[in-house]
Chain A
Amino acid sequence: MKIKTLLAFSISLLAAAAWADAAPKPSINTTAIAMFLAFVVVTLGITYWAARRTKTTADFYAAGGGITGFQNGLAIAGDYMSAASFLGIAGLVYTSGFDGLIYAIGFLVGWPLVLLLIAEPLRNLGKYTFADVASFRLQQKPIRILAASGSLVTVIFYLIAQLVGAGKIIEYLFGLQYETAVIGVGILMTLYVTFGGMLATTWVQVIKAVLLLSGASLMAFLVLSQFGFSFEAMFSESVKLHAKGEAIMAPLAQKPDAISAISAISLGMALMFGTAGLPHILMRFFTVRDAVQARRSVFYATGFIGYFYILTFIIGFGAIVLLINNPNYFAADGKLLGGTNMAAIHLSHALGGDILLGFISAVAFATILAVVSGLTLAGSSAISHDLYATLVLKGVRDEKKEMRASRFATICLGIIAVLLGIVFENQNVAFMVGLAFCVAASANFPILLLSMYWRKLTTRGAVLGGALGLLTALVLVVLGPTVWVDVFHHEKAIFPLKNPAIFSVFIAFIGIWLFSILDKSANAKAEEAAFDAQFVRSQTGIGISAAAEH
Chain B
Amino acid sequence: MSHSEQIRALPEYIALTRARKKIVWPLSIAVVVAYFALILAIAFYPASLGAPIGDGVTSVGIALGLGIIIYCMVITGISVSYANRVIEPLTRAIAQKAGALK
Contact = CB atoms under 8 A, between A and B. Distances in A.
Interface of A: 98, 101-102, 104-106, 108-109, 111-113, 115-117, 231-232, 235-236, 239, 246-247, 249-251, 253-256, 260-261, 264-265, 268, 272, 291-292, 295-296, 298-299, 302-303, 306, 309-310, 313, 532-533, 536-537, 539-542
A439 B73 CA distance: 26
Contacts of A251: 42, 46, 49-50, 61
Interface in B1-47: 2, 4-5, 7-8, 13, 16-17, 20, 23-24, 27-28, 31-32, 35-36, 38-40, 42-44, 46-47
Given A251-B46, A542-B95, A112 B79 contact: yes
Task: Give chain A's interface secondary structure class.
Answer: helix
Contacts of B46: 250-251, 253-256
Contacts of A256: 42-44, 46
B76 A115 contact: yes
Contacts of A231: 58
Nearest to B55: A232
A540 B16 contact: yes
A298 B8 CA distance: 28
A236 B75 CA distance: 31
A327 B19 CA distance: 60
A279 B29 CA distance: 24
Contacts, number: 158
B contact face: mostly helix, strand, loop, or mixed: helix
27 contacts: A101-B62, A105-B65, A108-B72, A112-B79, A232-B58, A235-B56, A256-B43, A260-B43, A265-B36, A265-B39, A265-B40, A265-B43, A268-B36, A291-B91, A295-B80, A306-B69, A310-B66, A313-B66, A532-B8, A536-B8, A536-B13, A539-B16, A539-B91, A540-B91, A540-B94, A540-B98, A542-B95
A18 B59 CA distance: 49
4 shortest A-B CB distances, which residue pairs? Answer: A250-B50, A261-B43, A249-B59, A533-B4
B76 A111 contact: yes
B100 interface: no
Contacts of B39: 102, 264-265, 268
Contacts of B56: 232, 235-236
Nearest to B23: A116
Contacts of A109: 31, 35, 68, 72
The interface centre, meaning the residue of B5, B52, B69, B98 with most chain A CB atoms within 10 A of its CB, is B69
A101 B65 contact: yes
B71 to A, nearest CB: 9
A372 B62 CA distance: 32
A329 B101 CA distance: 71
Given A265-B36, A268-B36, A249 B58 contact: yes
A531 to B, nearest CB: 10
Contact of B72 (A247, A255, A302): A302
Contacts of A296: 80
B93 to A, nearest CB: 10
A111 B80 CA distance: 13
Contact of A306 (B43, B73, B83, B88): B73
A471 B68 CA distance: 33
A208 to B, nearest CB: 21
B70 A268 contact: no
A302 to B, nearest CB: 4
B43 A264 contact: yes
Nearest to A530: B4
A247 B94 CA distance: 57
A536 B7 contact: yes
Contacts of B62: 98, 101, 235, 249
A102 B28 contact: no
Contacts of A272: 32, 35
Nearest to A291: B91
